[in-house]
Structure 1
């Protein structure tokens, strides 16, 4: 399944949840704390899914393109003006 399919499946499930909560509100009344909390939770799930849809663009790559690193050694002249990493400067001592 693709991400788009999963998000669509979640949307259908949330739609069914909203219908079920609406039926419960009709039977139990919408004034009770428990029913209001269930309604608020269902609404939060709907908002969270909407945010997830905006961040999970279907055409975005899953990972960045890989950059090949050659096995050949680097040119030593690249490092003539730098210190040995982790060892400090050649003309100084560690405290």
Structure 2
């Protein structure tokens, strides 16, 4: 199956879930905590599938930045000759 087919299948299942929750709300009332939680969870699933559908529709969007390899070789010590040692003060002065 393609991604589009899978998303369509999920959407149909969510539609069935929504209808079932609506029937439960009619039978049990929509004021109970349990029914409200199920309705909220179903709505969140619907929103998540919509986001996933939007991402899959735009495959050119960057998914993850490329990794940068950092070398294990030590840096050239001459790069740090004009800097102070952090917290220790300048090299040619004494600490108080």
| TM-score category (smaller protein) | 0.5 to 0.7
Distance 1:2 1:88, change over 3 A: same
Q: Give the Å deviation of 1:4.
A: 0.2
In the alignment, structure 1 segments of 5+ residues that lack a partner are 62-84
TM-score, with structure 1 as normaliser: 0.62
TM-score, with structure 2 as normaliser: 0.62
CA–CA distance in structure 2, aligned partners of residues 48 and 33 of structure 1: 22
Q: Give the Å deviation of 1:87.
A: 6.4
1:23-70 Cα offsets, whole Å, 9 max, x none, are 000000000000000000000000010011000127x37xxxxxxxxx
Q: CA RMSD in A?
A: 2.0
Name the residue aligned to 1:4.
4
Q: Where does structure 1 differ by over 4 angstroms across 4 or more consecutive aligned residues?
A: none
In the alignment, structure 2 segments of 5+ residues that lack a partner are 61-71, 79-96
CA–CA distance in structure 2, aligned partners of residues 41 and 88 of structure 1: 53
CA–CA distance in structure 1, aligned partners of residues 74 and 40 of structure 2: 59
Name the residue aligned to 1:39.
39
Number of aligned residue pairs: give it. 66
Name the residue aligned to 2:23.
23
